[in-house]
Amino acid sequence: MANEQFNEQEQNRRNALTALRELGINPYPAPLYPVNATAKGIEEGFTKEMAEQQAEGAPEGPFANVCIAGRLMSRRIMGAASFGELQDSTGRIQVYVKRDEICPGEDKTMYNTVWKKLLDIGDIVGIKGFAFFTQTGQLSVHAKELTLLSKSLRVLPIVKEADGVTYDAVTDPELRYRQRYVDLIINPQVREVFKARTTIINTMREFCSDAGYLEVETPILQSIPGGATARPFITHHNALDIPLYLRIADELYLKRLIVGGYDGVFEFAKDFRNEGMDKTHNPEFTQMELYAAYKDYIWMMDFTERMLEKIALKLHGTTKVTVDGNKIDFKAGWRRVRILDAIKEYAGVDVHDMDEAALRDTCKKLNVEVDKTMGRGKLIDAIFGAFCEEHFIQPTFVTDYPVEMSPLTKRCRYDDTLTERFELFVNGHELANAYSELNDPIDQLERFKEEAALKMKGDDEAMFVDYDFVRALEYGMPPTSGIGIGIDRLAMLMLGQSTIQDVLLFPQMRPEKDLGAK
């Protein structure tokens, strides 16, 4: 970078870069390198018996000609021989470098100058040689050829690892989240978290596909941000000269596909909500939404239990997971409680028949913070959030929300002031939201208009009126159940992580100051 000031170590690395080029060594050669082995593969496949046979002159086995590449993480130089530690995507392995092996002729530059002086911790190198055990029994790769594949110009934070234990691990979140690439290098366990996250997604995908449902893709840029109550991000399309929104949910498009004749569709979607950031919220997040025709919210509870139970078993071999010191059991058969009963139990008030004015008085008496833009649904939700959520540590379906809280949900079959909706709470936080979907176009239009009135009142999270979606419903949508599951929060739970930033490779952060200078 222009006008960049380097510290002494960084300047030394740049000097080494220049020296390498002067020696005719390209520090960033063409990318093709014939890797045929990994640290883990050698560790799992090469045995003491193989080593003994190899020493006795047995025909060359699969580990007699290995080619491995990775980052140099340590080095011990002892005259004409040295040991180093190489880290690849699977782990670490020791390499043994002997001067006369990698420099069989008179020219010893590769060892005496390049290996000993011009290579640094963090450089990416390739080693061709054979696997063996040292006299102390340490599995190693004996180098016959050494190749520099990429010169590192920045100094890694010093982290030591011995006998599978990491010492001086870097825990500073500012460094870990902003420079995730460094975090992944120096904290190998972090790479395992994101591998496990992929396992979660693949298990869900397999579960839904095996049920006969079709994975689809729907628009991220939308003219109307529908499917949830949230403040959207807005942008502008120059060619059409219209405002567009980043989607807050993919619900309304997926339900259009149910109208079109699919019995079930699902999508893993990046959604965007212009909201605050904390340990469970990031403005860009991932969720899986599923819609199944001829099903209801009771069926969806059973489906959800079985899916999450399968995920826990796939990851851990057990349904029990420990999060924030809480032992959570995902074995199917979770508690189900109606939201108004939960409020009565934990807040000590019955809000079923309260109008907006009475709810405002109740919130004031309960010291629940509200504002003038909040309608009846949000007032009830505020009481629930203040008094109830923290009690639902074990997986709990909270059901039968008031109509005002659920503008896209079918009315409850036993009480038309309530809806057939559930939210799944685990460890005191919402994990999923599901409905028996509203398929009455007349009722849906009225609910949209009620949301529009709230928006006029100042609620910038209230829904827009989506007339095209109403038109789709007028063609007829079969009875349908739908669910949205937050993948990031699910990963937090299943992997025992206490913040959402620990399960997002690149969480949102404030722009870094003075980055151009460093």
Q: Which residues pair with 127 in a beta bridge?
A: 68, 146
Written as tens digits, the pLDDT of the chain (518 aa) is 444 689 999 999 999 999 999 999 999 999 899 999 999 999 999 999 998 888 777 667 889 999 999 999 999 999 999 999 999 999 999 999 999 999 999 999 999 999 999 999 999 999 999 999 999 999 999 999 999 999 999 999 876 666 666 555 677 888 899 999 999 999 989 999 999 999 999 999 999 999 999 999 999 999 999 888 889 999 999 999 999 999 999 999 999 999 999 999 999 999 999 988 999 999 999 999 999 999 999 999 999 999 999 999 999 999 999 988 999 999 999 999 999 999 999 999 999 999 999 999 999 999 999 998 888 999 999 999 999 999 999 999 999 999 988 888 999 999 999 999 999 999 999 999 999 999 999 999 999 998 888 888 888 888 889 999 999 999 999 999 999 999 999 999 999 998 999 999 999 998 887 666 44
Identify the CATH assignment for 8-156 out of 3.30.465.10, 3.40.50.300, 2.40.50.140, 1.10.3210.10.
2.40.50.140
Q: Are 476 and 259 in contact (CB under 8 A)?
A: yes
**Ranges of H-type helices in 232-296:** 251-259
pTM: 0.90
| Separation between Cα atoms, residue 210 and residue 31, nearest integer Å | 40
User: What percent helix, strand, coil does the chain show, rounded to 5?
Assistant: 35, 25, 40
Q: Where are the CATH 2.40.50.140 domain residues in the chain? A: 8-156
Assigned superfamily of 190-334+394-513: Bira Bifunctional Protein; Domain 2 (3.30.930.10)
Q: Which residue type sits at 59?
A: P
Q: Is the Cβ–Cβ distance between 477 and 292 less than 8 Å? A: no
The Cα–Cα gap between 316 and 91 comes to: 21
Q: Which 3 state secondary structure label does DSSP give 207?
A: helix
Q: Which residue ranges does the chain devote to CATH 3.30.930.10?
A: 190-334+394-513
Residue 140 in 3-state DSSP?
strand
